[in-house]
Amino acid sequence: MLNASLRQLSLLLSEKKISSTELTSEFLSRIKALNPDLNAFITIDEEKSLDQANVADKMIAAGRSTPLTGIPIAQKDIFCARGWLTTCGSKMLSNFVSPYDATVVERFDQAGMVNLGKTNMDEFAMGSSNETSYYGPVKNPWDRLAVPGGSSGGSACAVAARLAPAATGSDTGGSIRQPAALCGISGIKPTYGLVSRYGMIAFASSLDQGGPMAKSAEDLALLLNTMVGFDERDSTSLQRAEENYTQDLEKPVNGLRIGLPKEFFAEGMSSDVSNVIEAALAEYRKLGATFVEVSLPNSKLAVPVYYVLAPAEASSNLSRFDGVRYGYRTAQYSSLEDLYTKTRAEGFGEEVKRRILIGTYVLSHGYYDAYYLQAQKLRRLIAEDFRKAFEQCDLIMGPTTPTVAFNIGEKCDDPIQMYLSDIYTSTASLAGLPGMSIPAGFGSKNRPVGLHIIGNYFREAQMLNVAHRYQQVTNWHELTPPETSN
Amino acid sequence: MQWETVIGLEIHAQLSTRSKIFSGASVAYGAEPNSQACAVDIALPGVLPVLNRQAIEYAIRFGLAIDATINSPSVFARKNYFYPDLPKGYQISQLEHPIVEGGHVAIQTGDQEKTIRLTRAHLEEDAGKSTHEEFHGMTGIDLNRAGTGLLEIVSEPDMRSSAEAVAYAKVLHSLVRWIGICDGNMQEGSFRCDANVSVRPAGSEALGTRCEIKNLNSFRFLERAIDYEVARQIDILESGGSITQETRLYDADRDETRTMRSKEDAHDYRYFPDPDLLPVIIPQEWIDQIREKLPELPKDKRNRYIQDFGLQTYDANILTAARELADYFEQMVSVLPGQSKLCANWIMGEVSARLNKEGLEIARSPISPEQLAGLLLRITDGTISGKIAKDVFDSMWQSNGDSADTIIDAKNLRQISDDSEIEKWVDDVLAANPQQVADYRAGKEKAFNSLVGQVMKTSKGKANPAQVNSVLKKRLTE
């Protein structure tokens, strides 16, 4: 049952072969056993989860169920959930119990899913290794010396270790796709504007996008059917006709034109990753796809552009954490200035402070034009690169990350090296394009490698179809990490 | 040396939308602290702003009323600074691409009419309030006002005296109420002024160093603060000093301005476009619809009153100073076509005096325009004299909506034009005052007026004065 797909679970539940309460209890006891070591969850609340399972069982009994009713889902701790501690991985919110639900949480609640708990993450989603969390690092279930990636590291770990059948994530520069790749699971960041940001604690508003993380593309499609939708509470939410992401999963992919950006297959990618990607592309060739080389000449600027724009927005988004109305407040202060300074110095971790400083700097008088405005111009050029590339191909493939998961502590003192793990993913983020990572094999030290799929705007259904066809002929997504703990 | 004063005003007009500019919370004034602050207003983690369409419409109304350009796209930006009553740590405002750009209004001081140009008007949200009185050694924060929509209206430095500044502020105060976008309540802070003041040698083109005076919440304070500030700056310059650019606060109790913060302390607000809000695209059709629904503007009404009704410029200006006043006037004229001058005289005379005495606005007048028109009709048709009309007006003010006719009949005030009755009163008066009759006949014209007065008195004011005159003349020359 731990390895069952969402569709299988849905069938078991609707045929009443298992109750949501039983299913939820099983995952809860697994979390209890394995989480102390993996540290994938920040908050678990059995009573709340079982109450929801009970509601789900009643929905099923009353014949009011959806395909997701009764299935547990882990929520990244960036999503506000009413009555739940919502920390965003920070000491700053270590006492914040949200009085309201994020739209994403609300939509899954209404579908009858069970909130299994809140997953660990890099503090305010700033990080690529889950090491910046106030609640400590998360371990990669495939190799507990390794990081799970970040910032949605807890969610990726939970799904990979089968602590949850599915999880939510959020992706600003790669925070769904990179940990999905490093933990050997599937994750998709939809087109910017498809999933409501309301209640998802803001990091960089023009890039942040929620998305599902699960074992397979088919699971992602099911989750996306519920997760996507217009929300009047989010002004950047898009009003579009409802789409069914599962209906095209089985379509054949022969004739598919896959674009391979030459910049993604150049130096920087390690050979173990490159071997896995070549093998994955060979599978696609067998499925009838063709390949075309494309160019994204400005992609080398994606990381610097990202590290101007995201911190700029973050420096402003995080101003509300001032110790005045909620969250952490320093114990002793002598003035208003002192209250602000100490609260923020004590409440934020190093990486968050670094990015607030960078962001404040690039928005400052005299620097704005040289950094912020310049980065905005480059952002448009990066999007333009993709527009041209998609004239030649249907979607783009490459590695999700340049290397497999590194060791915990290995890159902590080298932020630039850490930032470079977003090199492939941040390019798509800046263009607002949908991006996805699916497991494609293993590299050095038997650590997972992810295949990155970038689609054109609103082509999520096509991406899921292409990923699903691959998962029908491979079993990487079905493999589970060794059970040894400690 | 002769000095010239240069003034520009920034006016914050609080928009009278039902809900806040980026949230659904109410903007009603005077509620329990923090009872009208929703999740968005207190800036909980994860919340997002959603623009109130009505606020955009109000800004467009204003732009059309001053012949300005409506910018599309118009962009919201974040103005970043820390303050306890600013929950997000930034204010959503506009920097580049304000919704309204340019435009002008006409002001009048004495007989002089002048055009004041506007730089821009942009939308932004208000902050909350910090209170220090009720909490010993602590600060209380009330976020009810946080997120209330404001239109910040910035003028060019076109004013040359405090009188012009007040005239301009009054024109805008009237205009925002006229077009229904702000209630103009200055006590409640719905209409607030900041003044940028500088002086320069008369004839000089270059602007002097300016000081910004904050928190001028009445027209009187605006005038006094500017006068004080101008004198202060001239004093400094004439004694060889120079002006430091700074923000100053007007202290009404001491009638002076004092330093609030210097230029060096000025914040770097780190403005950047708000990524939570898309640029606002305003289709021309929407602007056209708003223009069609716009009421006739004060300047147009004023011209019409002069041209169509033959009013003096002065009278036309007064009657168009507030929309309610103009409405009152026009409703009267619709009942009494051709008597616009009489209507204007009564509004500016009896009605204004009485309203002033009782501290009422025209909209709260106990006498409706229809009632007053009914009264004036009885003057024009000779039913009562102008003098009796004033008595009827007094009774009408006290009554509960009684018509002029009801009061005239109840008090038996109808003018008497019956010749035989008037002749009888005249004869009685002449018989009782032989001395005055003799005086008149001896050439003392004054005696005649005295005799008229006595006849009117005898008739208890009801005799038709014109008839009394002619009968008396006839008798005295017989």
**pLDDT at residue B37 tops 80:** yes
Question: What is the Cα–Cα distance from A224 to A245, expressed in whole angstroms?
Answer: 7
Give the pLDDT of residue B332. 94
- The candidate with the shortest Cα–Cα distance to A316, out of A160, A422, A204, A440, is A204
Interface confidence (ipTM) of the complex? 0.96
Instruction: Give chain B's contact residues with A (Cβ, < 8 Å).
Output: 39, 42-51, 78, 80, 82, 84, 87-90, 139, 141, 268, 270-272, 275-278
Residue B463, strand partner residues: B416
Per the DSSP assignment, residues forming a β-bridge with B196 are: B8, B212
pLDDT in tens, A281-317: 999 999 999 999 999 999 999 999 999 999 999 999 9
At A397-446, the pLDDT tens digits run 999 999 999 999 998 888 877 787 888 999 999 999 999 999 999 999 99
Residues of B in contact with A237 (CB under 8 A): none
Would you call B276 and A204 a contact, using CB atoms and an 8 Å cutoff? no
Which residues touch A384 (CB under 8 Å, ≥6 apart)? A298
In angstroms, the separation between the Cα of residue A265 and the nearest Cα of chain B is 33
Which positions in chain A have a beta carbon within 8 angstroms of at least one beta carbon in chain B?
A: 79-80, 86, 88, 93, 96, 98-100, 102, 197-202, 204-206, 232-236, 312-313, 315-316, 318-322, 324-327, 336, 340, 360, 363-365, 368, 372
Q: Which domains does chain A have, with CATH numbers?
A: 6-249 (3.90.1300.10)
Sheet holding B77-80, edge to edge: B90-93, B77-80, B272-273
Residue A97: the pLDDT is 98
* Mean per-residue pLDDT, B393-413: 88
Average pLDDT over residues B307-329: 91
Residues 6+ away with beta carbon under 8 Å from A154: A39, A40, A41, A42, A74, A76, A77, A119, A120, A121, A130, A133, A138, A148, A167
Q: Poorest-confidence range of A4-18, A99-113, B312-326?
A: B312-326
Q: Is B278 within 8 Å of A198 when comparing Cβ atoms?
A: no
Q: Chain A: nearest CA to B264, how far in angstroms?
A: 14
What is the pLDDT, as a whole number, of residue A484?
55
Rounded to whole angstroms, the Cα distance separating B212 from B8 reads 9
User: Taking the model in full, what pTM does it have?
Assistant: 0.90
Query: What type of residue sits at position B415?
Result: Q
> Quick check: A185 and A215 in contact, CB under 8 A?
yes
H or E element that contains B261: strand B256-262
Q: Helix/strand/coil (H, E, C) string of A68-105? A: CCCCEEEEECCECCCCCECCCCCHHHCCCECCCCCHHH
Residues in chain A: 486
Nearest-by-Cβ selection for B45 from A96, A234, A340? A96
With beta carbons less than 8 A apart as the criterion, state whether A265 and A274 touch: yes
- B460 compared with A185, residue with greater pLDDT: A185
Could you read off the pLDDT of B137-188 as tens digits, one per residue? 888 999 999 999 999 999 999 999 999 999 999 999 999 999 999 999 999 9
The class level of CATH for B419-477 reads mainly alpha
Which of these, A185, A137, A179, lies nearest to A160 by C-alpha position? A185
Is the pLDDT assigned to residue B40 strictly greater than 90?
yes
The helix/strand/coil state of B119 is: strand
Cβ–Cβ under 8 Å, residues A436 and A188: yes
Please state which of the ranges A168-182, A436-450, B461-475 shows the lowest mean pLDDT.
B461-475
Does the pLDDT value for residue A485 go beyond 70? no
Would the pLDDT of A486 be above 70? Answer: no
**Count of Cβ atoms closer than 10 Å to residue A236 Cβ:** 18
Q: Over chain A, what is the mean pLDDT? A: 96
Domain spans of chain B, in order of start: 3-286, 296-410, 419-477
Cα→Cα distances B218→A107, B13, B118, B176, B355, Å: 51, 13, 21, 16, 20
Mutate to test the interface with A, among B40, B82, B267 (most CBs of A within 10 A): B82
- pLDDT (tens digit, 9 = 90+) per residue, A337-349? 999 999 999 999 9
Q: Which residues of A touch B89 (CB under 8 A)?
A: 316, 318-320, 322
User: How close does chain A come to B241, measured CA to CA in Å?
Assistant: 30
Q: Which residues of B touch A205 (CB under 8 A)?
A: 275-276
Give chain B positions within 8 Å (CB) of A199: 46-47
Query: By percentage, how much of chain A surpasses pLDDT 70?
Result: 99
Give the Cα separation of A2 and A116 in Å (integer): 14
The pLDDT of residue B465 is 83
Cα–Cα distance measured from residue A162 to residue A185, given in angstroms and rounded to the nearest whole number: 11
* Confidence bin at B270 (pLDDT 50/70/90): very high
Mean pLDDT of B396-401: 89
Give bridge partners of residue B212 from the DSSP assignment: B196, B247
Name the nearest CA neighbour of B16 among B66, B54, B42, B50: B54
B91 three-class SS: strand
Task: Give the lowest-confidence range in A246-250, A304-308, A462-466, B352-356.
Answer: B352-356
> Could you report the per-residue pLDDT of B329-363, keeping only the tens digit for each?
999 999 998 899 999 999 999 999 999 999 898 98
Read off the pLDDT band of A144 (50, 70, 90). very high
